[in-house]
Structure 1
Amino acid sequence: MKKINSSVAQLLKGIWSQNYKGLSFTYTLTVIENICELLYAAVLGLAIDGLLEGRPASLVPIATLWIIHLFVGLFRHVYDTKVFIGIYSHIAVDMVERQRAGGVEGNKIVGRTSLSREIVDFFQIEVPAIATASIRFIGAITMLFIYDPFVGIFGLSAMIPIVIINRWFAQRAYRLNSALNDRLEVEPDIIAHQPLAIVRRHFVRLRFWRVSISNAEATTWGGVEIVVIVLTLATLLRLTNIQGISVGTIYAIISYIWMFKDAVGDLPVIVDNLSRVHDIGERVAEEVIPVNSEQ
């Protein structure tokens, strides 16, 4: 994917600066949720060993952690909906006003306003997704090193081919999303004014670009899964050589391998979404001046 240009960076920075209080709070809640999820495997592993040793009180930590996660998650869900709907409403209205004043055609305003929703989705979906993947990856690798340094090294080594695969996908996804957005930007005009034959051709082209993006993403995901399969098998072989390992520890290690799998498995979707947002940002950056939605 191309390096983010100054206009897109300025757009994202402007939205952040105008809404940093609400965004900071919802992102803090997201981090707390992810820390809770990170701790589940370790705490549950301790609970398993405790129960096998006849200590029912070992269930208290896992129950406490689960309740904290539940309440934080519920509150964040309610709070961030309010924050992001407010941001989009202000951006959309301000964008329409500026484009009308600039004499932009009505159908193009509709197309760009619809695409601008993707910019808000970047803050609502992509940023938390990146944070989640990062916390899961860093946390899983850290815990694997704590349980067994060899397994931790396996995990870090697996990232080499995974990064190479996703780098290839990032470049391809940017080109494909750019072509797709070229079509979406003119869609309102085609639907409203063009002959039916052109409308049909338009949707055939949309299908082609969307299928191409999906196929590239599936190829990337498949490559990542192969790497994870090798990592999992290597870990299982390693566990057979650890003397005196407990059932709870085995459970925790395998759980953190799967957490690593979830983190890297989300990368193709994140890369695709970032590529799309980057291209859309280049299209609407000149028309969007963020307005403070927290006032």
Structure 2
Amino acid sequence: MNTNLEKTLRHIFSNYRGSILLTYGLTLLENLFELIHPLTIGIAINGLLKQSYGSMMPFAAAWLVHALLSVFRQIYDTRIFSRIYTNLATSTVLEQTKQGISFSQIAARSSLSREFVSFFERDIPEIINSLFGFVGALVMLFIYDWQIGFYCLLLLLPLSIVNYAYFRRTRSLHQRLNNQLESEVSVLSCQQPDAIQFHYKALAKWRIQLSNAEAMTWLILEIFIVGVFATMLIRTVIVLGAKTGDIYAIISYTWNYRQSLDRVPFLVQQFNLLQDIGSRISGGSPI
């Protein structure tokens, strides 16, 4: 990991360790309840088919607790991470000013520093969600049927290859985009129509290329996912002849597994972005 990136992230975490760990604990609990949703709904379906209304209780209880946890975590997160960004942006501006950095670069970097806070506020929870969706769903699928679990596990091979190529591509694109962003204030201050138009066209160009790279990565992965999903449906409905509730649960866990894989390109792009910002914001204490 980039030294400046690691230094900044470590400094933020050490200053706000208790608050950050609390929000991650709440995120873990949310994911635990979300993981058991397909199981409890499957139990409810099988029970209702036998006229057993008591089978609805685990489903209703898990859903309500999950909703309350989500609301509390969202309220808490907003307060904590807004305070962290306020301190980080202020420190970044003051430190960069001492170093004699141009006003244009300072303005851009104070805005880019928001990405460090987003790493803790959005990216780490995304990683937790992805791991829960991946490991949790995979374990549940192996419990229902080992062959379905094995088919899903095979998706890791194309996932690794495609996302490695995506990582290399987006690294250079983020560097070019942030170079352009750092020149924004100086370009606007010149008030030259041609220069301003060129600046915003360049920004659009790099953002479009980043979006295109993400879309193509997603498309390639979806081709493999469709094949696995079709195989799972055939095996569950025709070969296994599973109960209605179990069919629902298996489909839901496979879908959750697929969603966890969809998050990987976004996380790869964010890691590249943070590495580039970390190489720009250096020197002195981050906060």
Larger displacement relative to structure 2 (201-210 or 240-249) = 240-249
Deviating more after overlay: 271-280 vs 150-159: 271-280
Q: Which residue of 2 aligns with 1:200?
A: 197
The equivalent residue for 1:67 is 64
1:286 CA displacement = 2.6
Question: How far 1:241 moved relative to its partner?
Answer: 4.8
Higher relative contact order (CA 8 A, sep 6+): 1
The answer for unaligned runs of 5 or more in structure 2 is: none
Q: How many residues align?
A: 287
Equivalent residue for 1:212, pick from 209, 215, 220 = 209
Aligned residue for 1:38?
35
**Once the two structures are superposed, what CA deviation does each residue of 1:175-225 show, in whole Å capped at 9, x if it has no partner?**
111110110111111112252211111111111111111111000000111
SS of the residue 2:51 aligns to? coil
Gaps of 5+ in 1: 291-295
Counterpart residue identity of residue 137, structure 2: A
Contact kept? 2:5, 2:274, Cα under 8 Å: no
Match status 1:28 vs 2:29: no
Kindly state the Cα deviation for residue 92 of structure 1 after the two structures are TM-superposed: 1.0
- Do 2:142 and 2:148's aligned partners in 1 also have CA atoms closer than 8 Å? yes
State the TM-score, normalized to the length of structure 1.
0.94
Could you tell me which amino acid in structure 2 is paired with residue 94 of structure 1?
S
The one-letter code sitting in structure 1 at the alignment partner of 2:5 is: V
Q: Which residue number corresponds to residue 99 of structure 1? A: 96
Give SS of 1:245's match.
coil
Whether the 8 Å contact between 2:188 and 2:196 is mirrored in structure 1 is: yes
How far off its partner does 1:102 sit? 2.1
Instruction: Tell me: CA distance 1:157–1:233, structure 2 relative to 1, closer, same or farther (3 Å).
Output: same
Deviation at 1:118, TM superposition (A): 1.1
Letter in 1 for 2:220: G
Which whole-Å CA distance do the structure 2 matches of 1:282 and 1:194 have between them? 30
Task: Give, as a single letter, the amino acid of the residue that structure 2 aligns with 1:153.
Answer: F
What letter matches 1:199 in structure 2?
Answer: I
Please state how far the C-alpha of 1:244 moved relative to its aligned partner.
4.8
Counterparts of 1:1-295 in structure 2, within 5 Å, are: 4-193=1-190, 195-286=192-283, 288-290=285-287
Q: Look up the match of 1:293.
A: none
- For residues 154-177 of structure 1, the C-alpha deviation after alignment (integer angstroms, 9 at most, x for no partner) is 010011101111111011111111
Between the aligned partners of 2:217 and 2:123, the Cα distance in structure 1 is: 18
Q: CA RMSD in A?
A: 1.3
How far apart, CA to CA, are the structure 2 residues paired with 1:265 and 1:203? 30
Identity of aligned residues (%): 35
Deviation (angstroms), 1:232:
0.4
Where has structure 1 moved over 6 Å in runs of 4 or more? none
TM-score norm. by structure 2 comes to: 0.97
